[in-house]
């Protein structure tokens, strides 16, 4: 008899583990354990989503005839790790082998590879996670011999492999990427979609009570928990996105609007990353919307690029470069994460809104993450490992394989440009162009050196100045450095003084 361990991000009926095992003779094990819930202080909604989705998925498998053992969270239980629960179950059932699909975190996979078989006393068979479009080995082969890795070229390979938005071997519309068409600020030209709400059953309610009782010191609130926790609800969320949001997603995917948390974003990443939806089914649903004439090409291409392009690309980099990648800090940033990242209170409206969205929903869309909270951390020289831990904690879709390259590489540029060709830094002008946040702010985006000037403005030029030796030869930053070099010395000095003043009081902004 074999035991198949199903992890919290493997809630897919197509999971390789389920194809290997026999529902008549083998058993499945799910485990909610303290070690996985608390190795960082995950957002309460993230824990609730995973626990509830696990319980629902286990029930579905039981209804299909599988023999399922479920270890519910118990703070007083002697077994508080996956290996501890599994060891108990192997002994109890007399199992002669453990089967599981490779996991999504280097930390856990390393423990499985090095320790589990000897601790358990039985073989541990690992299945490849073929829910992804590109395997780790395939990505390593693609990356081999390249002086620089660029997502755009990888993305084209994935388009060819999947056939998505392809016709006669060429990309639809005659170009691979319509990103230049996807940078509009919201102008009320499209109706904001209605919110999608899900009814809560007894499993949801039990989990919400459990999380509130045992994870009270974790960030975030459960008051506005409204995530799908079943496969059927996740499919409903996909249909809602295709009908209500995708038609305008392309135009407004970079837009931000005060008081609006979601705009036209899909909110599907938590379901794809935990397994309730698969990458290909969401991409195929978007592609079909294009063929039906229900969504324009720039929207569909932009969405598909995020899934089979960026998502697959960062996973490939993660498994190619770990464990050394996690420790990189090539800009030498050493400031601690400011207190506002924990309590959310600040006079900067853009940061305040992004924090509110984060704590209310365990969510913020990619521009809030990259160009607001991430941009500020980059400009202020925050220690990248602190920023990475924070992003891993607070977002429902954050798993190490996807969060770490996005944060350390794209947000913090701590890998020296391995993942992205330039740092994603910007002054307050970018935020003002893409949002109405600045209208609600106590700081002025129009000035840089006054006492009430937007902190992003002087911090931006401080970043440019202190890293000039690293970036002034970068082709994508030459124009910025030409602008800086044309500045009068007194203006440069004023910018530096204002920025230095702000950096000494980050906890008071």
Tokens found for residue 421:
């060709």
The confidence band for 147, taking pLDDT boundaries of 50, 70 and 90, is confident
- Residue 509 and residue 507: Cα distance in Å, rounded? 6
pLDDT tens track for 16-58? 999 999 999 999 999 999 999 999 999 999 999 999 999 999 9
pLDDT at 181 over 80: no
- Residue 280 and residue 146: Cα distance in Å, rounded? 27
pLDDT tens track for 319-364? 999 999 999 999 999 999 999 999 999 999 999 999 999 999 999 9
- Residue 28 and residue 2: Cα distance in Å, rounded? 9
Q: Which residue has the higher pLDDT, 212 or 79?
A: 212
pTM for this predicted structure: 0.96
- Residue 277 and residue 298: Cα distance in Å, rounded? 23
Q: SS3 for 97? A: strand
Q: Provide the edge-to-edge strand list for the sheet that holds 97-101.
A: 67-71, 27-31, 2-5, 97-101, 124-127
pLDDT tens track for 385-426? 999 999 999 999 999 999 999 999 999 999 999 998 899 999
Tallying the residues shown for the chain, one arrives at 509
Tokens found for residue 212:
């509130």
**Residue 92 burial by Cβ neighbours in a 10 Å radius (0-12, 13-18, 19+):** exposed
pLDDT tens track for 466-505? 999 999 889 999 999 999 999 999 999 999 999 999 999 9
pLDDT tens track for 434-463? 999 999 999 999 999 999 999 999 999 999
Q: What is the pLDDT of residue 78?
A: 86
Q: What is the pLDDT of residue 420?
A: 86
Q: Return the number of other C-beta atoms located less than 10 Å from residue 293's C-beta.
A: 7
Q: What is the pLDDT of residue 183?
A: 81
Q: What is the pLDDT of residue 445?
A: 97
pLDDT tens track for 259-293? 999 999 999 999 999 999 999 999 999 999 999 99
């Amino acid at each position: 008899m074999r035991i198949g361990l199903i992890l919290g991000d493997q809630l897919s009926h197509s999971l390789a583990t389920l194809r290997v095992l026999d529902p008549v003779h083998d058993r499945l094990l799910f485990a909610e354990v303290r070690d996985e819930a608390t190795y960082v202080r995950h957002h309460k909604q993230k824990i609730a989503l995973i626990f509830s989705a696990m319980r629902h998925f286990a029930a579905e498998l039981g209804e299909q005839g599988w023999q399922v053992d479920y270890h519910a969270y118990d703070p007083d239980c002697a077994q508080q790790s996956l290996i501890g629960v599994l060891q108990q179950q192997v002994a109890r059932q007399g199992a002669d082998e453990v089967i599981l699909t490779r996991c999504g975190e280097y930390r856990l996979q390393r423990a499985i590879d090095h320790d589990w078989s000897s601790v358990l006393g039985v073989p541990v068979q690992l299945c490849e996670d073929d829910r992804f479009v590109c395997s780790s080995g395939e990505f390593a082969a693609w990356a081999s011999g390249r002086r620089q890795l660029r997502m755009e070229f990888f993305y084209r390979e994935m388009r060819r492999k999947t056939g998505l938005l392809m016709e006669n071997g060429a990309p639809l519309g005659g170009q691979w990427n319509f990103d230049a068409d996807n940078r509009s600020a919201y102008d009320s030209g499209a109706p904001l979609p209605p919110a999608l709400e899900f009814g809560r059953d007894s499993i949801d309610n039990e989990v919400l009570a459990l999380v509130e009782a045992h994870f009270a010191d974790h960030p975030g609130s459960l008051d506005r928990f409204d995530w799908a926790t079943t496969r059927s609800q996740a499919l409903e969320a996909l249909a809602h996105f295709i009908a209500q949001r995708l038609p305008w997603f392309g135009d407004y995917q970079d837009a931000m609007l005060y008081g609006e948390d979601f705009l036209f974003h899909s909110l599907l990443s938590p379901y794809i990353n935990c397994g309730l939806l698969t990458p290909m089914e969401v991409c195929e649903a978007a592609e079909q919307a294009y063929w039906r004439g229900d969504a324009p090409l720039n929207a569909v291409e932009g969405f598909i690029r995020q899934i089979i392009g960026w998502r697959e690309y960062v996973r490939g980099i993660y498994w190619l470069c770990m464990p050394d990648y996690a420790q990189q800090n090539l800009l030498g940033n050493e400031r601690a994460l400011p207190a506002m990242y924990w309590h959310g209170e600040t006079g900067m409206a853009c940061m305040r809104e992004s924090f509110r969205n984060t704590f209310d929903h365990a969510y913020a869309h990619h521009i809030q993450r990259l160009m607001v909270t991430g941009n500020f951390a980059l400009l202020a020289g925050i220690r990248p490992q602190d920023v990475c831990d924070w992003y891993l904690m607070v977002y429902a879709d954050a798993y190490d394989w996807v969060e770490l390259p996005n944060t350390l590489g794209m947000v913090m540029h701590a890998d020296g440009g391995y993942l992205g060709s330039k740092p994603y830094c910007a002054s307050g002008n970018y935020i003002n162009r893409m949002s109405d946040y600045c209208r609600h702010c106590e700081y002025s985006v129009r000035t840089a050196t006054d006492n009430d000037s937007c902190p992003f403005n002087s911090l931006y030029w401080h970043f440019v100045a202190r890293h000039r030796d690293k970036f002034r030869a970068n082709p994508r930053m030459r124009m910025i450095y030409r602008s800086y070099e044309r500045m009068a010395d007194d203006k440069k000095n004023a910018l530096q003084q204002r920025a230095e003043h702000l950096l000494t009081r980050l906890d008071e902004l």
